[in-house]
Structure formats: C-alpha cells, structure tokens
Structure 1
Amino acid sequence: MSPRTHASDWHFTTDVDEFLAETRDFLHSRPDLHTVHLTVTDQLRRSGPRAYGDRPPLLGRLVRADGRVGAALLHTPPYALRTTRLTAEETETLVDALLDRGHPVTGFASEQATAEAFAAAWQRGTGASARLGERQRLYRLDELTDPAPLPEGRARVASEADRELLVRWYGGFVEEAGLHAAGDGGEWADFRLSYGGVTLWETPDGTPVSMAGVTPTIAGQARIAPVYTPRELRGRGYAGAVTAQVSRAALAEGVGELLLFTDLANPTSNALYQRIGYRPVADWAEYDLGA
C-alpha cells in the first residue's frame, strides 16, 4: 500500500522557473500526457506571467514520500485549473490544499477519471455545482497516411504576408470553439510566424482555404493546434490535407511525438484524424464549477 498523501504534500508557486526546475523530470517522463503543462509553461517563460490573463498563474507539484514529484498542477485564469493524472486520494488532498489556500476554482480539466473525481470532491468540499463541459480525446500520430483523394492545391508555410488572414482565422477558431483567447490574435500570429508554426492549404490559384498550426517542440513532442477551415469551405478535404502536411513537415524536422486534441462531440474530426494515422491516447474532460 502506498503512503497516504496529505494536503501538505502539495507545494505551490507562481514562479514558472522554480516550477520547471522541480518538475522537469516528471513532465518529461510522459510528454504526451503532459503536453499541455509543457506548452503552457513554455509560453509563460517566453511571454511572462500575464501571458494568459491578468492574474498570475498558480503552479503546483505533489511531492511523494520518496521525495519525487508525482503530479503537477497549473492554473492560468480565466482558463480551467489543470492537473496531470491523480489517484482518488491525491485528488482529495488537492481539494483540501486549494481550500486551505482560499484559491478560487471555477473550472477543472484533466484526464477523464481525474476530472470526474475532482469535480465530485470539489462539490463535497464547497457545495458548488459541477457541470460537464467539453470532452476531448488526445491522439498521437502512429503512421502518417495522406488522405485520399487529396484536394487540388498545395501546402505552404504561412509568411508575414498572411498575418491579417491568420489573425482573422484565429479569431474564428476561438469563437467557434468557445475558447478564451490567450492574448489577442495579433500576438498569436506573430509568435507562430516567428518559427513557421502555421501551414496553409491553398487552391491552385493561390487562395488559402485552411490552416493547421503546430506548437514548438518541447521534450520531443509537439501538438497540432489549431486546425481551422472557414465554415463555407468545409467538407472538401482541406483540413485533412493541411493536417497531414504539417504533420509530415514536423516529422521531417525530428519531432518524436506528434499529438492533437479533438472535441469528442465532433465525430467528423475524430474520424478524419484517425484516417491519417492518429491513434487515441486518453480521454479528457473539463468541468465548470459554479457557486
């Protein structure tokens, strides 16, 4: 039987460098399952503690009896608090630790079993309501297969000349997905353009019709995000084509693991990514935690 955990086993900080120094080995041990923690903390290091909102982030780690880190937490309001996988007991101790700090939590996201356990524990501890929001599936690329037939056209890396288009399409993606924008569209576009992080699919006459982004590579992994096609251009194979091409380019650059998240409420996208070689890793759930 493993030693019992306590609220005091959770250690919190707002300093991203301190957090990464303590959790690096743990986060790198499963870069697929820890992809969000890796990419978000990388962005915090690049852009500062207000990268995702007006409030500073809360970062945390669970230290086990042997001194090793066993779980990690990040909260960048207004986004949901996120943790890596937790046992039921660890979830209870986290709720206790957050309540001891008086830290407000209005949303929680993690692998499905952890999210369900946290929502239930938070309800018991606070009396707050818990409503299941988005359910996602994490995929990892196995063997890349081009969609058939490919639509006419070609892929190309977006350039500075595409900045206005990227800003507009990013805004469309955020609005349709019901997300909080991390900074404005211009900041997002400038960052992605700085490392060639968006690929466009264009028709033979050079008209862009779809985009697929890729995060910077950290711990050997990168994540395809976002994938967006304007509503009036959907159903023509553009999203599958551009996703396959951005995936191929990332592999050619030496990325070890390519990942992406899908909304489980969208069977079309889930089927599409599996056709081009992405395979399920784990399901995620996000809960809205009301007063």
Structure 2
Amino acid sequence: MVTTIIRYETPQQFKEAVFPFLLEKEALHIIQLGVISNWLQFPDRYSEAYLASIHEDGDIVGTAMMTLPHPLQLSDMDVAYVDVLIDDLYTLYDHISGVSGTVTLSDAFVENWTQRRGQSAVLSMVQGLYQLEAVTPPQGVQGQMRAAASDDVPLLAQWMMDFSTEALSESASLDDTIKAVERRLSHPDAMLYIWDVEGERVSMAGVSGPTQNGIRVNAVYTPPEKRGKGYASACVAAVSQLMLHKGRRYCFLYTDMANPVSNSIYQKIGYRYLGNVNMYHFDVAQA
C-alpha cells in the first residue's frame, strides 16, 4: 500500500477534493466543513492555511486543516496516519499553535509532535460534540429571540470578548471583535441572535459554519448577573428551531465537558451527545 499526502492551495480546491469524504461523518467534521464554507463566503478571512488530504492507494483516508494562527484540525482517521501527516507538517512549520481531534487521534498526534518538535502541550479543553434534530423548548422562560441588529454591535462585541475570556481563555482587541461581529451580522449563515426580555438584552447565541445538512450553534453567552433564569437555554432552543425551520436537518454544538450545567441544559432541549474532542495548545516559546 502506498500512502501519500496532497496539499491544496485554495479552499475551493480543498472543498472539491475532500468534502465527499468529510460528509460521510458530517457531525464529526463540522469544523473543517464549516470553516471552509465560511472562508469561501469571506475570501479575505485567512491569509495562510495548511490544507491537506492523506491517501492510501489513491483513496482519501484523512484530512487536516490549519487556518493560521488557529490550531490544526484533524478529521477522523486511523492513528497510523499521524506519522505521515507529521512528516509533512515537519517540513513546513517549526511550531504550530495546537491541535484538535478525537481523543485517541489527538493524543497520538501530541505525543509524536512534542517528541519531534520539542513543544510542550497543554490539554486546554475536552469538548463534547452534540447533534440536534428536533427541539424540546424550555417552558416558563420570559422573553423572546430576535436577530441582532447594527445597534447591538457594541454590546455583542463586549459579550464576545467576555465569552472568549471565560470559555476559551483567549483575548482579542475591541476593534477586531467589533469587525468580527459586523461580519457575522452581514450574513445569515453567521448571524448572532439575542434573547430579549421586555427590551432588555439578556443573552446571545449565534450560528456559523454551515454544512450540507446542518449548521453549528456557538457564541452562547449570558452575563453572570443574568444567569440561572433559563435565558441561554431558551435562546439556543429558539435559534436551533429557526435553523431547522429554514431547512437544516441538524444543528451541532460543542460544550466544555468540565461544565456539567451546560451539558445538561443542551440535552434537555434535544441535543444528543456524540463523543469527545480534545483541544490541545502548544507552547510556542519552547519550540
């Protein structure tokens, strides 16, 4: 058997070559499918990327995507192909910011990469992957969901920054975050939504990364002083129902498995747990 790697110069080339493979396990591959779809909608989104497929006797057996400076995203593949992928990456990058993939696969990649490149790795989050096909709306929650508008941008930008700090331990400038929010509001497949209680904005949720049959729900955030009243559950349920009404067969989302509250909430409104994904970050300073 002959194992080879093919790299792609553009997201369109990557889509045409690998989407049929990725769609065989659509839920597991929502990041690669969604990021490429968004990139094609916003061509200036990324200036550098690693886009590759691994082949066994001509058939695709795995893919990898890294839109710098973001971590490497691994498709489902046999761990035997990790060495081949790292051999290719090794010729291009002295260091990478991290890697995300199923538990066994990401662990194997981290063990190999840290030994060869000397970067230390930290397991930053274990995420739960969920899929929804029908919504069970929560009862007795005040308010209603609406699409965000231009006058919501300053508040949403602040909420996005707070969300990134709290959930992802990441930070971004206010100007960059405002631009990101404005970009999302310009396209229905990247929209942000607000839960509104008598004119007061109390929670948000968004969608992004459309796939052939689904879309990912993300950016779920409620300010600390507004928590415990069911606003996030109601907002996510309403957004998910809207996506199904628009023709999506599925909604997907990731949770932090260290947060039992959010995992319980999503299951109560209809999200079904599919498995875990590890997110590792590498220490660039030690590369």
TM-score between the two structures when normalised by the length of structure 2 = 0.90
Instruction: Give me the whole-angstrom Cα distance separating, in 1, the residues matched to 2:210 and 2:91.
Output: 36
Query: Counterpart of 1:45?
Result: 40
- Structure 2 stretches of 5 or more lacking a match? none
Amino acid at match of 1:57: A
> Structure 1 residues 216 and 123 mapped into 2: Cα distance closer, same or farther (>3 Å)?
closer
**Pairing 1:153–2:147 present:** no
Q: Secondary structure at the match of 2:142?
A: coil
Amino acid at match of 1:94: L
Q: Deviations over 1:44-93 (max 9, x none)?
A: 223335x25xx51111111221x222211111222111110121210121
**Pairing 1:130–2:121 present:** yes
Q: 1:13: how far off?
A: 3.0
Q: 1:180: how far off?
A: 5.8
Percent of residue pairs identical: 31
> Structure 1 residues 136 and 46 mapped into 2: Cα distance closer, same or farther (>3 Å)?
same
Tell whether the 8 Å contact from 1:130 to 1:289 is kept in structure 2 after alignment.
Answer: yes
Amino acid at match of 1:240: S
Which of 135, 139, 155 lines up with 1:165 in the alignment? 155
**Pairing 1:176–2:166 present:** yes
Q: How does 1:265-284 map to 2 (within 5 A)?
A: 265-284=258-277
Q: Secondary structure at the match of 1:42?
A: helix
Tell whether the 8 Å contact from 1:217 to 1:255 is kept in structure 2 after alignment.
Answer: no
Tell whether the 8 Å contact from 2:33 to 2:209 is kept in structure 1 after alignment.
Answer: no
Which of 2, 19, 23 lines up with 1:24 in the alignment? 19
Instruction: Give me the whole-angstrom Cα distance separating, in 1, the residues matched to 2:130 and 2:156.
Output: 25
Query: Counterpart of 1:202?
Result: 196
Tell whether the 8 Å contact from 1:74 to 1:81 is kept in structure 2 after alignment.
Answer: yes
**Pairing 1:72–2:63 present:** yes
Which of 53, 57, 69 lines up with 2:49 in the alignment? 57
**Pairing 1:94–2:85 present:** yes
- Structure 1 stretches of 5 or more lacking a match? none
Which of 107, 111, 120 lines up with 2:102 in the alignment? 111
Q: Deviations over 1:177-228 (max 9, x none)?
A: 223659922232223222342221111x211100111125321110001111
> Structure 1 residues 181 and 28 mapped into 2: Cα distance closer, same or farther (>3 Å)?
farther
Deviates more, 1:160-169 or 1:112-121: 160-169
Query: Counterpart of 2:247?
Result: 254
Tell whether the 8 Å contact from 1:78 to 1:180 is kept in structure 2 after alignment.
Answer: no
Deviates more, 1:14-23 or 1:115-124: 14-23
Q: Deviations over 1:69-128 (max 9, x none)?
A: 221111122211111012121012111221133453231111111111101111232333
Tell whether the 8 Å contact from 1:95 to 1:125 is kept in structure 2 after alignment.
Answer: no
Q: 1:14: how far off?
A: 3.5
Deviates more, 1:173-182 or 1:120-129: 173-182
> Structure 1 residues 94 and 216 mapped into 2: Cα distance closer, same or farther (>3 Å)?
closer
Q: Secondary structure at the match of 1:219?
A: coil
Q: Deviations over 1:250-276 (max 9, x none)?
A: 111110111000011111101110111
Query: Counterpart of 2:211?
Result: 218
Q: Deviations over 1:152-184 (max 9, x none)?
A: 111112222322222222222122222365992
Tell whether the 8 Å contact from 2:35 to 2:209 is kept in structure 1 after alignment.
Answer: no
Query: Counterpart of 1:120?
Result: 111
Amino acid at match of 1:125: R
Which of 176, 191, 197 lines up with 2:183 in the alignment? 191
Q: 1:145: how far off?
A: 0.8
TM-score between the two structures when normalised by the length of structure 1 = 0.89
> May I ask how many residue pairs the two structures share in their alignment?
280
Amino acid at match of 1:199: Y
Structural RMSD (CA): 2.0
